[in-house]
Chains A and B, each alone.
Chain A
């Protein structure tokens, strides 16, 4: 456990193919202005997260935990983690903060990094872009600037953090359409992905190599399986649900818009009437009517919070990415199979 060593650059991508892909993925989300440009994760942390998820996260249940580590130059090194106990409704008096503090104190006693650098969460078919995640990541980032959230689900591990823009919006706590418009924020610029690197000690790397050599070839065929419609179906289903939500949200917004415009019209008419009357009065030599507070007469309708729709859009985007990735791979496989069949014939 304490065998932490400063390894140099030997990134092990073998354990998780997508993680490697993510590492190369887009770092364009404006991460330039943040101090941390890379997340380096210990193999141990990855294994611990996977274990936690497999043991406790079933179906739509979500598991969470705390990441520990250090910031070294422009990279965030995550060297250890510990899980949160599963929440139950019964023990409401369970104090999460105290649990965390005690956990970290105990870990410090055994000489483990005890600095809080973020948290991790599992996900069910990539549905993680939620309000809850946004809120807690915001509070993390607000307290510890460099903290990230690791999302783990179906063999993919990604590190995310909120963009500085979104941080500002969240700080304002104003999610009205105007504010979001002003902030010029869209769903693409809500979360930024931080490239991750998985780092192991040399000894482990050696062991991996050896294991790879020894492992049977048959295991690798799983990648070629064509029966993957289940995954696709699930994704489609979830995507559909989100689209429904989005639809509703738009309808809501639409009603708001209509209400506003209707009121605007009324206001306009009122003003005109007032003006006419005043003109008449003027011609009769009477004093004009006193000015009234229009905003009191016409209370503008409560604008719907747009954050939800942003989040939904973000979520839909993730699903689409997932599906795209997945179908691309499957298509590849299909072409391969076709080629093989033709070759055999």
Chain B
């Protein structure tokens, strides 16, 4: 409903007026055709005409105002939108315009807009800075307005010829109607702005004024002012119609003005009264509005007006604070949640205020719990983007809040919390029945855990900040533990499983130093100090893991939780060197078969577990197992990616932004990382221990396979080096050690594998570094001995075991067992001479030439066989049945013959 209209119709009842307007609008045109009709209802008709016109024009002016605003902030897109609306509105107002002439303000906006656009268009710099949408809109709008303005060319040119004057006029008008304007513009006081913006309304109001005058005059001196009346009406319409003749008209008006000076004064008085009334009414209405829609007001306030002002307005003074009121308020606040333009921070503040109020008024725990749930939820909501993480203060607040919530829940065992409790069935205050609150503490905690991970992911792991954040981990664990205790009492098995998994996820990767210590020093009882005892209190993490995991194995119904639990359990076993338990669990779970169907985070966990398993095997001295476990991860060369410890640069081009974001979210926080260098070193060393003896044993074998491609690659890289300096990196150390081992030089090998540098880089990272080192030395000695025997057995006729034992610093039984094993496995063609403790070589290994000859013989054999097949074809081209039979027969024979032939060959080869 138009404000001008309301102001205009002073004494008439508002309601009837609006109704009248609605009814008469469609026929307005008809009435408009007889403006000079001097009947009783002339007033009415006139007003109706006016109202239709005003309505249209007001629509236009409103649009124009928005356009002007948009122009000011250079929002061309908005301009375009509004311009299109304006065009439509103008089309609607066509009938009136036909009668009244093109409104001046309309021409003005067209002209201004065109100028403005041209200006923008010329401004190359600005255009560059403009965003795409705006630039696009600019070109479209420019074209449109050009086309459109063609229809108004004459008007525009005339306007452009004397824009000054019209502006002056406007200013004049503005002065006249300043009271009105102030109300309308709501404190926008810049003169220029007013001038342009309020041009239309002022024009209208002036017109309106004139009409008022007319009416007055009609009543007062009706007999002689017949022509004046017409004149004024005509001038009225003219003023709109022909902008060019404005001056003339104005002068005419002015000429006549003196005659009606007194009337005018009276009118002015009247107007003032009216304005006052209107003002009052308006303010009243505002008050009403405020009272009516509090909720709406809240929203509006949140739009950016400082909060401080609003706080006291939470509840009107003196309102009795009851449950219903608080809940209503809460719902109001929550409704704004997720809406655009809602200030999330303010919302949190409000909720907290609400809690305070609720607490102050003793509304009971139910309400507080309910609000707290919502506070935490809105804390999580604070960041609209999944990728961004919580600010530290938010995080702190969140932790506190959850803690408080837990306090309440523990203190009041009669509160039931659950996500399956419907809003309707909530019981927040009825103390007789158990309190029921909707909300899920588990979800909150899970979300908290996610947020924690996100924070850790987004913090630079080498900064102090990270350490600070990491300190919160204890708190997170404490919360999880509390929730766990809570849920153990009240939750369903499913919930318990979930919280157990959460607990497991926060436990599995931590090395239990206390338990480790305890293991090393068997309980001596009294000698322990108090402090030690205090430290040793609390469950062994192994026992804890066992308990949690077993529960999950037994109770869980979702596969995912069980899989994760198993993996964590294995990881934990492996971390604490319980190799056999870990391995058995891995094999029994059959995870290796179906892990590829799991989702990526689980796969990452699986990879981590495998790696930990491999490292565990290595510590136990089980090189083969270690190698097998690590093979998959290492052979791909993407260990970093597979373990979720970083993105590969190489594939950055391949994946798009979206994928990268997803992958980034999957990254494991730094404190869970497995040292990649250690991983690689373990892998390479186990590969070395396997590969070097194997290579020595199969020196001349044509079909020698590689055990570890990666290891070979490293060797080749080492060979390609034009200048071999002392090894620097871990890889170079391993390569150098491999070379030494190839020659059976275990001492050099040892010194390359275990030295200051390698200690610092790798070995010291193990929890039991010394144990690992001793194991490693022994392994090196054994494998070097084997390599030595493979490589140089052809040189010896016999060798005493004692010498070997001296050479490799192994005790005699070990040497004996190694050699025996080699003989049994037919790796070494030799026999042991017990009395003299010597190894007697049989010297039956073929030389290189003999080997080649053997291979050649084999190849020739297959060649002959193939050739015979060709021959078969030639003999029996027809008669498929017989041929087949014959073929089978011949094949057999061929095989026999071939065998004989081969034997012959190999005999001659020796």
| Interface set of A (CB-CB < 8 Å, partner B) | 229, 232-233, 236-237, 239-240, 243-244, 246-247, 250-251, 253-254, 257-258, 261, 264-265, 268
Contact = CB atoms under 8 A, between A and B. Distances in A.
B870 interface: yes
A244 B859 contact: yes
Nearest to A235: B852
A250 B867 contact: yes
B856 interface: yes
A247 B866 CA distance: 7
A240 B854 CA distance: 11
Interface in B856-888: 856, 859-860, 862-863, 866-867, 869-870, 873-874, 877-878, 880
Nearest to A240: B856
> Which of A247, A253, A264 has the largest count of B CB atoms less than 10 A from its CB?
A247
> Which of B849, B866, B867 has the largest count of A CB atoms less than 10 A from its CB?
B866
A246 B863 contact: yes
5 contacts: A236-B852, A240-B852, A247-B866, A261-B873, A265-B878
Interface string B617-629: 0000000000000
A236 B853 contact: yes
Contacts of A250: 863, 866-867, 870
B849 A265 contact: no
B855 interface: yes
B848 interface: yes
Contacts of A239: 856
Interface string B811-850: 0000000000000000000000000000000000001110
Nearest to A229: B849
Contacts of A253: 870
A265 B853 CA distance: 42
A254 B866 contact: yes
Contacts of A233: 848-849, 852
B850 to A, nearest CB: 10
A251 B849 contact: no
A236 B869 contact: no
A254 B863 contact: no
A290 to B, nearest CB: 27
A233 B862 CA distance: 21
A257 B873 CA distance: 7
Dominant secondary structure of chain B at its interface with chain A: helix
> Which of B847, B855, B859, B880 has the largest count of A CB atoms less than 10 A from its CB?
B859
A243 B863 contact: yes
A236 B856 contact: yes
Contacts of B847: 229
A241 to B, nearest CB: 9
Given A240-B852, A243-B856, A250-B863, 12 more contacts: A233-B849, A233-B852, A236-B852, A240-B859, A243-B859, A243-B863, A247-B859, A247-B862, A250-B867, A253-B870, A257-B870, A268-B878
Contact of A251 (B852, B856, B866, B877): B866
A126 B436 CA distance: 96
Contacts of B848: 229, 233
Nearest to B859: A243
A261 B877 CA distance: 6
Given A250-B870, A254-B869, A258-B873, A232 B863 contact: no
A237 B852 contact: yes
Interface of B: 847-849, 852-853, 855-856, 859-860, 862-863, 866-867, 869-870, 873-874, 877-878, 880
Nearest to B848: A233
B396 to A, nearest CB: 67
A258 B887 CA distance: 13
A264 B876 CA distance: 13
B884 to A, nearest CB: 12
A265 B881 CA distance: 12
A1 B39 CA distance: 138
Nearest to A252: B866
A251 B856 CA distance: 18
Nearest to A232: B849
Contacts of B880: 265
Contacts of A257: 870, 873-874
Contact of A243 (B860, B869, B878): B860
Nearest to B862: A247
B870 A247 contact: no
B855 A240 contact: yes
A264 B877 contact: yes
A240 B873 CA distance: 26
Nearest to B856: A240
Contacts of B873: 254, 257-258, 261
Nearest to B877: A261
A229 B852 CA distance: 11
Nearest to A236: B852
Contacts of B877: 261, 264
Nearest to A253: B870
Contacts of B863: 243, 246-247, 250
A254 B862 contact: no
A233 B850 CA distance: 9
Nearest to A242: B859
A134 B867 CA distance: 25
A218 B18 CA distance: 133
Nearest to A243: B859
Nearest to A265: B880
A251 B873 CA distance: 12
A136 B426 CA distance: 98
A229 B874 CA distance: 41
Nearest to B847: A229
A253 B867 CA distance: 10
Contacts of B870: 250, 253-254, 257
Contacts of B874: 257
A245 to B, nearest CB: 10
A243 to B, nearest CB: 5
Contacts of B878: 261, 264-265, 268
Contacts of A264: 877-878
A236 B866 contact: no
Contacts of B859: 240, 243-244, 247
B187 to A, nearest CB: 80
Contacts of B866: 247, 250-251, 254
Chain A to chain B: the 8 pairs with minimum beta-carbon distance, closest first: A250-B866, A257-B873, A236-B852, A243-B859, A247-B863, A240-B856, A261-B877, A254-B870
B702 to A, nearest CB: 9
Contacts of A246: 863
Contacts of B856: 236, 239-240, 243
Nearest to B876: A261
Nearest to A268: B878
A258 B863 CA distance: 17
A257 B876 CA distance: 11
A239 B856 CA distance: 8
Nearest to B867: A250
Contacts of A229: 847-849
B858 to A, nearest CB: 9
Contacts of A236: 849, 852-853, 856
Contacts of A237: 852
A292 to B, nearest CB: 22
Nearest to B853: A236
A229 B847 CA distance: 10
A244 B859 CA distance: 7
A229 B851 CA distance: 12
Contacts of A240: 852, 855-856, 859
Contacts of B852: 233, 236-237, 240
Contacts of B855: 240
Contacts of A244: 859
A229 B870 CA distance: 36
A240 B862 CA distance: 12
A234 to B, nearest CB: 10
A239 B866 CA distance: 18
> Which of B862, B863, B869, B878 has the largest count of A CB atoms less than 10 A from its CB?
B863
A17 to B, nearest CB: 24
